[in-house]
Structure formats: structure tokens, C-alpha cells
Amino acid sequence: MNRAVCPGSFDPVTHGHLDIIGRAAGLFDELIVAVGVNPSKSRLFGPEERIALLERAVADLPNLRVAGFTGLVTDFCVEQDAQAIVKGLRAASDFDYEMPMAQMNSALTGVETVFLPTSTRQSFVSSSLVKEVAAFGGDVSAFVPDFVLEALTSRLPRRE
């Protein structure tokens, strides 16, 4: 079975993530969407919330599961018997950030990284931008599922 891990912070999941996840699910027998849990990093949503939002967002994809992980993504891949990591690339800056990680992950355990270009409609969407725009009252409804929008609206303090 070809199994891949799609890791990320998903704070929160956006349509950009869902574009990559949906297309990656079509390439592998099983896709594990892996939510990085790093207690030293402050996030808007806690790990359980990020996982719950993702599970709701991918409920219609049969060959996919969502899991949290701590520590190295390569250790998680070995534990799950996954042969590949899938990452989305929006722009050259993503490539510069992702390439050394892909090479390090390959050197550590031989797990290979598969890069998928984001669709042009999603290439500017990121969780950080969505949070910033939403915090100032901007309309981010085109970039996240409805229930993520609700979670964002109730979580974010409204800035002026």
C-alpha cells in the first residue's frame, strides 16, 4: 500500500490546504493528514481543535485520516509505515523553505517528499494571512470552510 503523510500546522485549515489534501488523496492509497503538535509554538487553535476542524473538512474523502504528531515528521512516517511526505508549493519562497527540509527528511530515514503546486486560485492563501485579515474584520469566507469561519470569528479578538 502506498501511504503518504501530509504534515502541517493547519491553524486553521484553509481551502489552500484542502486543495492539496484532495489532490494528494488521489495519488496514494492512503493519506494521513498529520497535525504538528509543538507545545513551544503558540497557535490560535489547540491541537484537538485543529484536528476536529480538519476531520470535518475532509469527512468526504474515504482514503484519508487525520492524526496529531509530536517530534520529527520522519519518525511519524516510519511509525505509520508511510513512504512519502506531501507538501504544497505556492511560490518560490515555499520551495526555498521546503527544499532543505525535504533533503533532511530524505537523509534521515529515506522518506521522500512529493511537492504539489497549489492551484492558481489558492496560491496566495495561508492560515496566517486568513487570521490577520479576519482579525481586522475582513471577509475570509472564500478561503475557509463555513465552520472554520465560525470558529475564527468566535476565537479572534476583533482589532480596529
Residue numbers at the binding site for ligand PNS (CB under 6 A): 7-9, 36, 72-73, 101, 104-105
Which one, 101 or 133, has the nearer CB to ligand PNS? 101
122 alpha carbon, distance to own chain's centre: 13
Cβ atoms of residues 33 and 66 within 8 Å? yes
Give catalytic status of residue 50 as yes or no.
no
Catalytic-labelled residue, pool 15, 17, 50, 131 = 17
Catalytic-labelled residue, pool 9, 15, 87, 127 = 127
What angle separates helix 146-155 from helix 127-135, to the nearest 10 degrees? 50
Q: How far is the CB of 13 from ligand PNS (least distance, A)?
A: 10
DSSP 66: E
Which one, 101 or 156, has the nearer CB to ligand PNS? 101
Site of grid cell 492512503? 30
Q: How far is the CB of 160 from ligand PNS (least distance, A)?
A: 28
Residues ≥6 apart with Cβ < 8 Å to 147: 53, 56, 57
The residues annotated with a catalytic role in the active site are 17, 41, 90, 127
